[in-house]
Amino acid sequence: MPKSKAFAMSTIETELANLLTTRTNLQARQAAQAVEVEQAVATRRRLLIEGGDAAAIAEAERACREIEGTAYGITDALSEIERCITEAEARIEAARVDAERERVAGGLEQNASEIEAAAASLTKTLAAVAKAHGMLAITISGAAAGQYDPAYGTASPVDIANALVLQGLVHAMPGLEVHAEINPWSLYSLRQPVEGTDPAATASGFGQRLREIAGSIRRQEIGQDLPVHHDALPDFTPASDEMQVFVISPFQYIGADRVPTMVTSPSTHLPRPVAQRAIELGVATDYQSREWQAAHQDAGLHASVRGSVGWDDCVDIEFDLAAWRRAETERQRSTWLTDQRQAA
Protein backbone atom coordinates (compact mmCIF):
# COMPACT_ATOMS: atom_id res chain seq x y z
CA MET A 1 0.00 0.00 0.00
CA PRO A 2 1.45 3.47 -0.92
CA LYS A 3 2.51 5.64 2.02
CA SER A 4 -0.21 8.28 1.39
CA LYS A 5 -2.94 5.64 1.33
CA ALA A 6 -1.58 4.02 4.46
CA PHE A 7 -1.60 7.42 6.18
CA ALA A 8 -5.20 8.03 5.07
CA MET A 9 -6.26 4.64 6.40
CA SER A 10 -4.56 5.34 9.74
CA THR A 11 -6.30 8.75 9.96
CA ILE A 12 -9.74 7.21 9.35
CA GLU A 13 -9.12 4.50 11.93
CA THR A 14 -8.08 7.13 14.50
CA GLU A 15 -11.20 9.13 13.70
CA LEU A 16 -13.37 6.03 14.17
CA ALA A 17 -11.72 5.24 17.52
CA ASN A 18 -12.45 8.79 18.73
CA LEU A 19 -16.07 8.53 17.57
CA LEU A 20 -16.53 5.24 19.42
CA THR A 21 -15.11 6.78 22.60
CA THR A 22 -17.42 9.79 22.28
CA ARG A 23 -20.42 7.52 21.74
CA THR A 24 -19.58 5.55 24.88
CA ASN A 25 -19.31 8.75 26.94
CA LEU A 26 -22.60 10.15 25.57
CA GLN A 27 -24.39 6.86 26.23
CA ALA A 28 -23.21 7.01 29.85
CA ARG A 29 -24.44 10.62 30.16
CA GLN A 30 -27.74 9.64 28.55
CA ALA A 31 -28.29 6.90 31.14
CA ALA A 32 -27.54 9.30 33.99
CA GLN A 33 -29.70 12.01 32.44
CA ALA A 34 -32.67 9.64 32.24
CA VAL A 35 -32.60 9.33 36.03
CA GLU A 36 -32.50 13.12 36.48
CA VAL A 37 -35.40 13.58 34.00
CA GLU A 38 -37.49 11.08 35.91
CA GLN A 39 -36.74 12.86 39.19
CA ALA A 40 -37.63 16.33 37.78
CA VAL A 41 -40.88 15.04 36.25
CA ALA A 42 -41.80 13.36 39.55
CA THR A 43 -41.22 16.62 41.47
CA ARG A 44 -43.43 18.60 39.08
CA ARG A 45 -46.13 15.92 39.24
CA ARG A 46 -46.14 16.02 43.03
CA LEU A 47 -46.42 19.86 43.19
CA LEU A 48 -49.26 19.89 40.68
CA ILE A 49 -51.15 17.17 42.59
CA GLU A 50 -50.57 18.75 45.99
CA GLY A 51 -51.41 22.25 44.75
CA GLY A 52 -48.09 23.88 45.61
CA ASP A 53 -47.50 27.61 45.24
CA ALA A 54 -47.09 29.08 41.78
CA ALA A 55 -43.41 29.92 42.23
CA ALA A 56 -42.53 26.32 43.15
CA ILE A 57 -44.55 24.93 40.24
CA ALA A 58 -42.90 27.40 37.82
CA GLU A 59 -39.46 26.41 39.07
CA ALA A 60 -40.35 22.74 38.60
CA GLU A 61 -41.56 23.49 35.05
CA ARG A 62 -38.30 25.31 34.27
CA ALA A 63 -36.21 22.48 35.67
CA CYS A 64 -38.12 19.90 33.56
CA ARG A 65 -37.71 21.95 30.37
CA GLU A 66 -34.01 22.43 30.98
CA ILE A 67 -33.22 18.82 31.77
CA GLU A 68 -35.47 17.49 28.98
CA GLY A 69 -33.72 19.84 26.55
CA THR A 70 -30.35 18.54 27.66
CA ALA A 71 -31.57 14.93 27.24
CA TYR A 72 -32.85 15.72 23.73
CA GLY A 73 -29.51 17.29 22.88
CA ILE A 74 -27.67 14.16 24.00
CA THR A 75 -30.04 11.95 21.94
CA ASP A 76 -29.53 14.15 18.88
CA ALA A 77 -25.76 14.08 19.34
CA LEU A 78 -25.82 10.28 19.62
CA SER A 79 -27.80 10.07 16.40
CA GLU A 80 -25.19 12.17 14.62
CA ILE A 81 -22.37 10.14 16.17
CA GLU A 82 -23.95 6.93 14.84
CA ARG A 83 -24.13 8.44 11.36
CA CYS A 84 -20.47 9.48 11.53
CA ILE A 85 -19.44 6.01 12.76
CA THR A 86 -21.31 4.34 9.90
CA GLU A 87 -19.67 6.68 7.42
CA ALA A 88 -16.18 6.09 8.87
CA GLU A 89 -16.66 2.31 8.80
CA ALA A 90 -17.78 2.54 5.15
CA ARG A 91 -14.67 4.59 4.31
CA ILE A 92 -12.44 2.07 6.06
CA GLU A 93 -14.04 -0.83 4.15
CA ALA A 94 -13.67 1.06 0.86
CA ALA A 95 -10.00 1.72 1.67
CA ARG A 96 -9.50 -1.95 2.53
CA VAL A 97 -11.06 -3.05 -0.77
CA ASP A 98 -8.90 -0.53 -2.67
CA ALA A 99 -5.79 -1.82 -0.88
CA GLU A 100 -6.69 -5.42 -1.74
CA ARG A 101 -7.27 -4.48 -5.37
CA GLU A 102 -3.90 -2.74 -5.48
CA ARG A 103 -2.22 -5.76 -3.86
CA VAL A 104 -3.66 -8.18 -6.44
CA ALA A 105 -3.02 -5.86 -9.39
CA GLY A 106 0.52 -5.08 -8.23
CA GLY A 107 1.22 -8.78 -7.76
CA LEU A 108 0.10 -9.51 -11.32
CA GLU A 109 2.28 -6.74 -12.73
CA GLN A 110 5.30 -7.93 -10.75
CA ASN A 111 4.72 -11.53 -11.84
CA ALA A 112 4.40 -10.39 -15.47
CA SER A 113 7.88 -8.85 -15.28
CA GLU A 114 9.26 -11.95 -13.57
CA ILE A 115 7.77 -14.22 -16.23
CA GLU A 116 9.27 -12.12 -19.01
CA ALA A 117 12.70 -12.16 -17.36
CA ALA A 118 12.57 -15.94 -16.83
CA ALA A 119 11.41 -16.47 -20.43
CA ALA A 120 14.29 -14.34 -21.71
CA SER A 121 16.67 -16.59 -19.77
CA LEU A 122 14.96 -19.64 -21.27
CA THR A 123 15.37 -18.19 -24.76
CA LYS A 124 19.13 -17.83 -24.22
CA THR A 125 19.36 -21.39 -22.91
CA LEU A 126 17.42 -22.76 -25.88
CA ALA A 127 19.73 -20.87 -28.22
CA ALA A 128 22.65 -22.70 -26.59
CA VAL A 129 20.77 -26.00 -26.99
CA ALA A 130 20.18 -25.21 -30.68
CA LYS A 131 23.89 -24.51 -31.13
CA ALA A 132 24.82 -27.78 -29.42
CA HIS A 133 22.26 -29.62 -31.56
CA GLY A 134 23.82 -28.22 -34.74
CA MET A 135 27.32 -29.17 -33.55
CA LEU A 136 26.13 -32.69 -32.79
CA ALA A 137 24.58 -33.07 -36.23
CA ILE A 138 27.77 -32.06 -38.08
CA THR A 139 29.90 -34.18 -35.75
CA ILE A 140 28.17 -37.46 -36.70
CA SER A 141 29.69 -38.92 -39.83
CA GLY A 142 27.68 -40.68 -42.50
CA ALA A 143 29.42 -43.95 -41.77
CA ALA A 144 28.58 -43.73 -38.09
CA ALA A 145 24.99 -42.70 -38.82
CA GLY A 146 24.48 -45.82 -40.88
CA GLN A 147 25.05 -47.94 -37.78
CA TYR A 148 22.67 -46.06 -35.46
CA ASP A 149 19.45 -48.03 -36.09
CA PRO A 150 20.05 -51.15 -38.19
CA ALA A 151 16.66 -52.61 -37.21
CA TYR A 152 14.56 -49.87 -38.87
CA GLY A 153 16.74 -48.17 -41.46
CA THR A 154 19.50 -45.69 -42.08
CA ALA A 155 19.18 -42.54 -40.01
CA SER A 156 20.69 -39.22 -41.04
CA PRO A 157 22.97 -37.24 -38.68
CA VAL A 158 20.22 -34.63 -38.26
CA ASP A 159 17.64 -37.31 -37.42
CA ILE A 160 19.97 -38.72 -34.78
CA ALA A 161 20.63 -35.26 -33.32
CA ASN A 162 16.87 -34.59 -33.21
CA ALA A 163 16.25 -37.89 -31.41
CA LEU A 164 18.96 -37.21 -28.83
CA VAL A 165 17.64 -33.72 -28.12
CA LEU A 166 14.05 -34.95 -27.69
CA GLN A 167 15.13 -37.85 -25.53
CA GLY A 168 17.36 -35.55 -23.49
CA LEU A 169 14.50 -33.11 -22.88
CA VAL A 170 12.17 -35.88 -21.72
CA HIS A 171 14.89 -37.29 -19.48
CA ALA A 172 15.56 -33.88 -17.91
CA MET A 173 11.87 -32.89 -17.72
CA PRO A 174 9.60 -35.97 -17.55
CA GLY A 175 6.54 -33.78 -17.01
CA LEU A 176 7.04 -32.07 -20.38
CA GLU A 177 5.28 -34.98 -22.14
CA VAL A 178 6.68 -34.32 -25.63
CA HIS A 179 4.72 -36.21 -28.27
CA ALA A 180 6.89 -36.68 -31.35
CA GLU A 181 8.29 -39.43 -33.54
CA ILE A 182 12.00 -39.69 -32.89
CA ASN A 183 12.74 -42.27 -35.61
CA PRO A 184 11.21 -40.70 -38.75
CA TRP A 185 13.53 -42.77 -40.94
CA SER A 186 11.44 -45.88 -40.23
CA LEU A 187 8.84 -46.96 -42.79
CA TYR A 188 6.49 -47.69 -39.89
CA SER A 189 6.71 -44.31 -38.23
CA LEU A 190 3.75 -42.03 -37.62
CA ARG A 191 5.51 -38.75 -37.26
CA GLN A 192 3.67 -35.79 -35.75
CA PRO A 193 5.77 -32.62 -35.77
CA VAL A 194 5.86 -30.44 -32.65
CA GLU A 195 5.06 -26.80 -33.33
CA GLY A 196 7.57 -24.39 -31.81
CA THR A 197 7.09 -20.87 -30.48
CA ASP A 198 9.47 -18.20 -29.21
CA PRO A 199 9.24 -18.32 -25.37
CA ALA A 200 10.02 -14.60 -25.13
CA ALA A 201 7.17 -13.72 -27.53
CA THR A 202 4.77 -16.02 -25.70
CA ALA A 203 5.78 -14.56 -22.34
CA SER A 204 5.36 -11.02 -23.70
CA GLY A 205 1.79 -11.78 -24.76
CA PHE A 206 1.11 -13.46 -21.43
CA GLY A 207 2.58 -10.51 -19.52
CA GLN A 208 0.42 -8.06 -21.52
CA ARG A 209 -2.68 -10.10 -20.68
CA LEU A 210 -1.77 -10.00 -16.97
CA ARG A 211 -1.36 -6.21 -17.14
CA GLU A 212 -4.78 -5.87 -18.80
CA ILE A 213 -6.33 -7.94 -15.99
CA ALA A 214 -4.62 -5.70 -13.42
CA GLY A 215 -6.12 -2.63 -15.11
CA SER A 216 -9.59 -4.19 -15.10
CA ILE A 217 -9.28 -4.88 -11.36
CA ARG A 218 -8.29 -1.27 -10.67
CA ARG A 219 -11.23 0.00 -12.74
CA GLN A 220 -13.51 -2.36 -10.76
CA GLU A 221 -14.61 -4.04 -14.00
CA ILE A 222 -13.82 -7.43 -12.43
CA GLY A 223 -13.30 -8.66 -8.88
CA GLN A 224 -9.91 -9.28 -7.32
CA ASP A 225 -10.69 -12.92 -6.45
CA LEU A 226 -9.12 -14.65 -9.46
CA PRO A 227 -8.93 -18.40 -10.15
CA VAL A 228 -5.82 -19.91 -8.60
CA HIS A 229 -4.21 -23.01 -9.79
CA HIS A 230 -2.88 -25.50 -7.18
CA ASP A 231 -0.51 -28.27 -8.27
CA ALA A 232 -1.58 -31.85 -7.66
CA LEU A 233 0.43 -33.68 -5.02
CA PRO A 234 2.92 -36.27 -6.25
CA ASP A 235 2.66 -39.95 -5.37
CA PHE A 236 4.41 -40.42 -2.03
CA THR A 237 4.00 -44.21 -1.91
CA PRO A 238 7.43 -45.78 -1.23
CA ALA A 239 8.98 -47.93 -3.95
CA SER A 240 8.24 -51.65 -3.76
CA ASP A 241 11.77 -52.85 -4.44
CA GLU A 242 12.98 -56.17 -3.12
CA MET A 243 16.30 -57.69 -2.09
CA GLN A 244 17.51 -61.26 -1.78
CA VAL A 245 18.07 -62.69 1.67
CA PHE A 246 19.40 -66.00 2.96
CA VAL A 247 17.18 -67.23 5.79
CA ILE A 248 18.99 -68.57 8.84
CA SER A 249 15.87 -69.10 10.97
CA PRO A 250 12.25 -69.19 9.78
CA PHE A 251 10.46 -65.97 10.67
CA GLN A 252 7.14 -64.21 10.19
CA TYR A 253 5.94 -60.66 9.60
CA ILE A 254 2.76 -58.77 8.62
CA GLY A 255 2.58 -58.27 4.86
CA ALA A 256 1.37 -55.30 2.83
CA ASP A 257 -2.08 -56.89 2.69
CA ARG A 258 -2.18 -57.07 6.51
CA VAL A 259 -1.88 -60.89 6.37
CA PRO A 260 0.74 -62.72 8.49
CA THR A 261 3.46 -64.05 6.21
CA MET A 262 5.81 -66.95 6.96
CA VAL A 263 9.34 -67.02 5.51
CA THR A 264 10.92 -70.50 5.54
CA SER A 265 12.80 -70.85 2.23
CA PRO A 266 16.59 -70.96 2.53
CA SER A 267 16.81 -68.01 0.14
CA THR A 268 14.14 -65.68 -1.17
CA HIS A 269 13.38 -62.15 -2.27
CA LEU A 270 11.57 -59.91 0.21
CA PRO A 271 10.48 -56.26 0.35
CA ARG A 272 13.58 -54.29 1.29
CA PRO A 273 12.38 -53.00 4.71
CA VAL A 274 11.35 -56.55 5.72
CA ALA A 275 14.70 -57.95 4.59
CA GLN A 276 16.61 -55.24 6.46
CA ARG A 277 14.64 -55.94 9.65
CA ALA A 278 15.32 -59.67 9.39
CA ILE A 279 19.03 -59.06 8.83
CA GLU A 280 19.09 -56.65 11.78
CA LEU A 281 17.61 -59.36 14.05
CA GLY A 282 20.04 -61.98 12.77
CA VAL A 283 17.43 -64.37 11.34
CA ALA A 284 18.64 -63.71 7.79
CA THR A 285 21.67 -62.36 5.96
CA ASP A 286 22.33 -60.86 2.56
CA TYR A 287 25.02 -63.43 1.73
CA GLN A 288 25.64 -67.13 2.27
CA SER A 289 27.18 -66.79 5.70
CA ARG A 290 28.54 -69.63 7.83
CA GLU A 291 25.43 -69.44 10.02
CA TRP A 292 23.22 -69.85 6.97
CA GLN A 293 25.29 -72.78 5.66
CA ALA A 294 25.15 -74.49 9.07
CA ALA A 295 21.37 -74.01 9.28
CA HIS A 296 20.78 -75.60 5.86
CA GLN A 297 23.57 -78.15 5.47
CA ASP A 298 21.15 -80.99 6.12
CA ALA A 299 18.17 -79.65 4.19
CA GLY A 300 20.19 -78.66 1.11
CA LEU A 301 20.96 -75.17 -0.06
CA HIS A 302 17.85 -74.82 -2.22
CA ALA A 303 15.37 -76.91 -0.28
CA SER A 304 12.11 -75.44 0.98
CA VAL A 305 11.16 -76.66 4.44
CA ARG A 306 7.94 -74.66 4.70
CA GLY A 307 5.82 -77.74 5.01
CA SER A 308 7.63 -78.89 8.14
CA VAL A 309 7.65 -75.51 9.90
CA GLY A 310 4.70 -74.14 11.87
CA TRP A 311 3.88 -70.64 13.01
CA ASP A 312 5.20 -71.36 16.49
CA ASP A 313 8.56 -72.26 14.96
CA CYS A 314 8.87 -68.88 13.23
CA VAL A 315 10.54 -65.91 14.90
CA ASP A 316 8.20 -62.92 14.96
CA ILE A 317 10.34 -60.05 13.72
CA GLU A 318 7.54 -57.67 14.77
CA PHE A 319 7.43 -55.85 11.47
CA ASP A 320 4.18 -54.62 9.87
CA LEU A 321 4.88 -53.84 6.22
CA ALA A 322 1.48 -52.18 5.71
CA ALA A 323 2.02 -49.89 8.70
CA TRP A 324 5.56 -49.12 7.55
CA ARG A 325 4.31 -48.14 4.08
CA ARG A 326 1.68 -45.84 5.58
CA ALA A 327 4.23 -44.18 7.88
CA GLU A 328 6.79 -43.79 5.09
CA THR A 329 4.16 -42.31 2.78
CA GLU A 330 3.19 -39.75 5.41
CA ARG A 331 6.86 -38.97 6.13
CA GLN A 332 7.61 -38.31 2.48
CA ARG A 333 4.45 -36.20 2.18
CA SER A 334 5.39 -34.10 5.22
CA THR A 335 8.93 -33.61 3.90
CA TRP A 336 7.60 -32.50 0.51
CA LEU A 337 5.14 -30.04 2.05
CA THR A 338 7.89 -28.59 4.26
CA ASP A 339 10.15 -28.12 1.22
CA GLN A 340 7.30 -26.42 -0.66
CA ARG A 341 6.63 -24.02 2.21
CA GLN A 342 10.35 -23.16 2.50
CA ALA A 343 10.60 -22.54 -1.26
CA ALA A 344 7.50 -20.31 -1.31
Higher pLDDT, 114 or 140: 114
Contact status, residue 281 vs residue 326, Cβ threshold 8 Å: no
What Å distances lie between residue 315 and 18, 99, 178, 309, CA to CA?
Answer: 78, 68, 52, 11
DSSP H or E segment with residue 13: helix 3-50
Give the HSE-up count for residue 241: Cα atoms under 13 Å, Cβ half-sphere.
5
pLDDT tens digit string along 21-68?
A: 888 888 888 887 787 778 878 888 888 888 778 888 888 888 888 888
Pairing label, strands 260-263, 251-254: antiparallel
pLDDT for res 113: 94
How far the first Cα of the chain sits from its last, in Å, is 22
Alpha-carbon torsion, ordered 201, 204, 165, 139, to 10 deg: 50
Residue 183 to residue 158: CA distance in whole angstroms: 11
Residue 325 to residue 319: CA distance in whole angstroms: 11
Higher pLDDT, 132 or 340: 132
Domain ranges of the chain: 3-114, 115-218, 242-343
Binned at pLDDT 50, 70 and 90, residue 325 comes out as very high
pTM of the model: 0.46
pLDDT for res 6: 59
Q: What is the DSSP letter of 298?
A: T
Q: What are phi and psi of 226, to 5 degrees?
A: -95, 155
